[in-house]
């Protein structure tokens, strides 16, 4: 049984859906702020330089118009959606490698944790990083979010060597 989103918690299909709604929104969901703003900026620039203003007016007024005039903007939108989807898949893959969560055909609904207990695949105790005993910030001692690489309380950077 494969968990819905591994350790990253980000769903590729949701990133793609949000990217379809607005260029760059899927990247914001993935917390890739600069990349999302970059895709939005590219969409605005392509719209300004390659899409005739009358085509945009015709589309906004609902009178139809020639859809091929919007092809450059559509191409940027499709590329942004594909980029958000691929980024989400890559973050899932790297997160699963980091935690050692490798899905297999033999794995059942429960996973042996090593301390004699069995955890249900896809579930996580809030603030507990899979495979680690403590989930406290080394600086302030408060609970950590396993999806973040910094402490949300004191903003201390957590390097990958730190056993959270």
pLDDT of residue 70: 84
Q: Measured between alpha carbons, how far is 126 from 143 in angstroms, rounded to an integer?
A: 9
0.85 exceeded by pTM: no
Contacts of 118 (CB under 8 A, 6+ apart): 110, 111, 112
Percent of the chain with pLDDT over 90: 33
Query: How many domains does the chain divide into?
Result: 2
- Shared domain for 78 and 123, answered yes or no, is no
Whether 97 has a pLDDT exceeding 80, the answer reads no
- Shared domain for 66 and 41, answered yes or no, is yes
Domain enclosing residue 124, as ranges: 112-164
Q: Is residue 1 part of a domain?
A: no
Q: Is residue 134 part of a domain?
A: yes
Q: Measured between alpha carbons, how far is 54 from 58 in angstroms, rounded to an integer?
A: 6
- Shared domain for 117 and 88, answered yes or no, is no
Contacts of 21 (CB under 8 A, 6+ apart): none
């Amino acid at each position: 049984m494969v968990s819905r989103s591994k350790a990253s918690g980000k769903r590729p299909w949701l990133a793609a859906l949000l990217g379809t709604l607005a260029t760059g929104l899927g990247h914001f969901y993935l917390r890739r702020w600069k990349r999302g703003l970059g895709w939005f900026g590219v969409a605005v620039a392509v719209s300004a330089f390659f899409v005739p203003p009358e085509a945009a007016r015709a589309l906004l007024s609902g009178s139809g118009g020639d859809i091929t005039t919007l092809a450059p903007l559509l191409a940027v939108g499709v590329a942004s959606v594909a980029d958000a989807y691929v980024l989400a898949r890559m973050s899932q893959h790297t997160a699963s490698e980091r935690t050692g969560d490798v899905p297999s055909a033999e794995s059942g609904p429960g996973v042996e944790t090593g301390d004699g207990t069995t955890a249900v695949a896809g579930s996580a105790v809030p603030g507990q990083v899979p495979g680690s005993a403590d989930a406290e910030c080394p600086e302030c001692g408060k609970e950590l979010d396993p999806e973040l690489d910094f402490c949300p309380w004191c903003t201390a950077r957590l390097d990958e060597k730190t056993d959270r």
